[in-house]
A and B are shown apart, each in its own frame.
Chain A
Amino acid sequence: MRVTVNGKQTRVADGTTLHAIARDRHPRTHVAVLNGLVRSEDALLRDGDDVVLLARAPRPPDGELRAALAARNAPGVSARLGSSTVGIAGCGGLGSNLAVILARCGVGTLVVVDPDVVEPANLNRQHFLLDQLGMPKVAAVAELAARIHPFVRVRPVFGRIEPGNVRETFAGCDVIAECFDAAAEKAATARAVRRSLPGVPLVAVSGIAGCGDANDIVTREAMAGMHVVGDGRSDVADGRGIMAPRVLVAAGHQANRIVQLLLGRAGEEV
C-alpha cells in the first residue's frame, strides 16, 4: 500500500504501523501525526494515510518543513489553499492579523495593500512588533509571514486603494478582504471592489469597536458575494475605542469565511 510520509509518497508493507515507520525511517521522531491528529499510541496504517513525523530539531529541509506546516490542517485542504490568492485591502488591526492567520493556513499568495508605516499606537491591536516601528506595514507583514510560513508569497503594495486601481491591484485574487478602519473608506472599498471585480467574493467588517460581547460578532452574507463580519453597530465614532480582543475575533471570522470560500464552502465540514 502507499502512504505519504513527511510529504513523500512511500510504499510500505501491509500491516505497517505508525511506530514502526517512525522507528525505521525517522528514528529521531518526537511527535507523530496521522491524518491531522497527533497520536501517542501506535496505529495500524491504511492505504492513503498521511503521516508526518516531527523531530525536535532546527529547521528541517524544505520538503519536510512544508509537510510539517500542513500536518495539523484539515486533511486535504492544503493543496487548495496553497494555490489560492487572497487580496487584503488595509493592513492595520484587521489586515495584519488576517495576513498572519492566512499565512499560518498556508494560503499561497497574499496581496497586501496599505499606505501607512507602523506606529506605537498600532501595537494595542495590530500584529506588529516594537522593532518594526517606522516600517511600511506591508513590509512588516511580509517579514512576519516569511518567519511563519516561508512558502507563502506576500506581494506588498505600499500605497492607497482607489476605485481606479482596484482591478489592477487585486487581479488574480480568489477572495478580497476589506480591512480598513474608517467607515467611509470601508464603504468606498466595498463599492469599488464589487464594481471592478464583481465575480470575486468580498469579506468586509462592520461593528467591532469597544468591549461588547464577542458573541455578538457574526459572519453573514449580506448580499450575494458580499460577506460582512461584525455586530453591525459598535462604532469607533461613539468613543468606544478599538481593542485587540474584538479585532482578533473579527480577523478570525474573516479568515474562516475566506478559507470556506477558497474550499467552495465544503470547508464547513472539514
Chain B
Amino acid sequence: MDVTLNEEPLTTDEGTDVRTLLASLSIPLESTAVEVNGRILDVEELDRRLEDGDEIFVVRFVGGG
C-alpha cells in the first residue's frame, strides 16, 4: 500500500501500524510528534493501522535548549 511520509511517497505492507512503520525506520517514539491526515497522535495511539493514501508527518526532536 502507498502512503506518504513527510511528503515523500513510501510503499509499506498492507495493514502496517504507525509504531511498526516508525520502528522500521529507526525513529524513536518518545521524542517524536506524529500526525496522520492532519491529526496528531498520542503515544498510545501509535498502534493505529495505516490505510492506503494516508499522509504521515513525523517531527523528530533531539535535545538542547
Contact = CB atoms under 8 A, between A and B. Distances in A.
A92 B63 CA distance: 13
What size tier do the contact residues of chain A reach?
35 or more
A187 B33 contact: yes
Contact of B62 (A90, A94, A95, A207): A207
A208 B65 contact: yes
Nearest to B55: A223
A188 to B, nearest CB: 8
Given A183-B31, A191-B40, A236 B61 contact: no
Contact of B35 (A182, A184, A194, A205): A194
Given A191-B40, A191-B42, A183 B61 contact: yes
Contacts of A223: 35, 57, 59
A184 B32 CA distance: 8
Nearest to B57: A223
Given A204-B61, A209-B62, A187 B32 contact: yes
A241 B18 CA distance: 33
Contacts, number: 90
Contact of A222 (B38, B57, B63, B65): B57
Interface residues of B, number: 19
Contacts of A232: 60, 62
Q: Which of B31, B59, B64 has the most CB of A within 10 A?
A: B64
B8 interface: no
Contacts of B38: 224
A220 to B, nearest CB: 10
A183 B63 contact: yes
Interface string A84-118: 00000010111100000000000000000000000
Nearest to A251: B65
Interface of B: 6, 30-33, 35, 38, 40-43, 57, 59-65
CB-CB nearest 4 A-B residue pairs: A235-B62, A223-B57, A209-B64, A183-B31
10 contacts: A90-B65, A93-B64, A184-B30, A194-B40, A208-B65, A230-B62, A235-B62, A235-B63, A240-B64, A242-B65
